Structure 1
Amino acid sequence: MANIKAMSLLLAFLVVAMLVSEAFAGTNYYGNNSLKLSQCPGRCKQRCSKARKTEECKFFCNKCCAKCLCVPPGTFANKEVCPCYNNWKTKLGGPKCP
């Protein structure tokens, strides 16, 4: 009888743990593949809002977002949260993504 109660308690704990992990699964706001393609323009508009060449910034940001499905937070830096976005380079070795 005690064995059945222990098994039931363990099963209940596992079910609750699975439900909690499902609830928090969608909270990854950054990182590769964290966006849908339709979210890229809004994130890039925000990312490029303080750029000197805003339209050029948005063009390259959207190109990078379409490939990586990620845009780093803020208007500058923080690229480490999006490795694909951070590591994509131009032919000359400079950063491709703003």
Structure 2
Amino acid sequence: MAVRAFLVLSLLLLSFTYEVSNVEGGVDCDGLCGVRCGAHSRPNVCMRACGTCCVRCGCVPPGTSGNREMCGRCYTDMTTHANKTKCP
């Protein structure tokens, strides 16, 4: 029971943090991308791509990977010149 309550509270906190960091005009791209790229094998490349995506889309998904759909089509559909997904 305690584990279930902890998981629910963790999800609520993550959701709240995501909403707060996504307030218009209040997106901290460096901070959010630092979290997003923290576990990446090439953090400098990740930070550069994430920063570009953050500035253009005004959003960075929560966590270190996945959840890209939370930032909408701008974030999910951006590609490189090689037609690979740009945003981490």
2: CA distance, partners of 1:85 / 1:72: 9
Check the 8 A contact 2:27/2:58 in 1, yes or no.
Answer: no
Q: TM-score, normalised by structure 2?
A: 0.69
* Selected match of 1:79 from 68, 71, 79: 68
* Selected match of 2:34 from 45, 50, 54: 45
**1:91 partnered with 2:78:** no
Flag the structure with larger Rg: 1
For structure 2, the 5+ residue unaligned runs are: 1-15
For structure 1, the 5+ residue unaligned runs are: 1-26
Kindly provide the amino acid, as one letter, of the partner of residue 50 in structure 2.
Answer: C
- The percent identity for this pair of structures is 37
1: CA distance, partners of 2:24 / 2:46: 19
Offset of residue 36 of structure 1: 3.1
Aligned residue-pair number: 70
2: CA distance, partners of 1:62 / 1:75: 14
RMSD between aligned residues: 2.2
> Secondary structure at the residue paired with 1:82?
helix
Kindly provide the amino acid, as one letter, of the partner of residue 93 in structure 1.
Answer: N
